[in-house]
A and B are shown apart, each in its own frame.
Chain A
Amino acid sequence: SQTIHQWPATLVQPVGSPLSLECTVEGTSNPNLYWYRQAAGRGLQLLFYSVGIGQISSEVPQNLSASRPQDRQFILSSKKLLLSDSGFYLCAWKIRAGTGVGGYTFGSGTRLTVV
């Protein structure tokens, strides 16, 4: 069965420090991978998506970057965190092949607080 792992669950980082959040998927190959951010009282916002190794698309300009060094690994990074980077970050995957009806499976999320 397919599973998605996301860590850490919570993170408190000072302003200006670097960030690395990791997401891995098991039980599937060639997934589409996504990073979302959920701010309080707002819908999920797509930050990055990837359709393959080394292929990253950014949805919004921001202080963050993403990388996909392996087929089932997706990393969200920042060189210097801002206070506005605080939020709940969710990784998700979806089977690439077929129609758009397939489901998105989300990880358990990382609560990032920048202080």
Chain B
Amino acid sequence: KNQVEQSPQSLIILEGKNCTLQCNYTVSPFSNLRWYKQDTGRGPVSLTIMTFSENTKSNGRYTATLDADTKQSSLHITASQLSDSASYICVVSALRPREKLTFGTGTRLTIIP
């Protein structure tokens, strides 16, 4: 069964600090992995998309890594800002029989001043 597990479930950090969110998956056959940011009461917004051959991808202060061998991904946020407070969702895509997404339950990140 395809699964995506994220940790921690929630995280509180001080503004300006860095943090790393984890994603472990058991999705096969693996196609790509996405990280989304979802503000409360809003739809998810894409941060990064990584395929099997990509180990790291950055989007401003967000850097995602992917280890396809261990089936792990991380999202590192540098110099956090209050606006980073949101849920971060890891989404893994399988390609066959058609593209199908498996969503993690997300990490709820709160940045405090």
Contacts and interface: CB of A to CB of B under 8 A. Distances in A.
Interface of A: 6, 41-46, 88, 90, 92, 100-101, 103-109, 111
From DSSP, what is the main secondary structure of chain B's interface residues?
strand
Contacts, number: 48
A29 B41 CA distance: 28
B43 A43 contact: no
B67 interface: no
Interface string B66-109: 00000000000000000000000100010100011111111000
Nearest to A4: B43
A44 B101 CA distance: 9
Contacts of A92: 43
Interface of B: 4, 31-32, 34, 36, 41-46, 49, 51, 89, 93, 95, 99-106
A106 B41 CA distance: 12
A112 to B, nearest CB: 13
A92 B103 CA distance: 14
A103 B44 CA distance: 12
Given A109-B41, A111-B41, A43 B31 contact: no
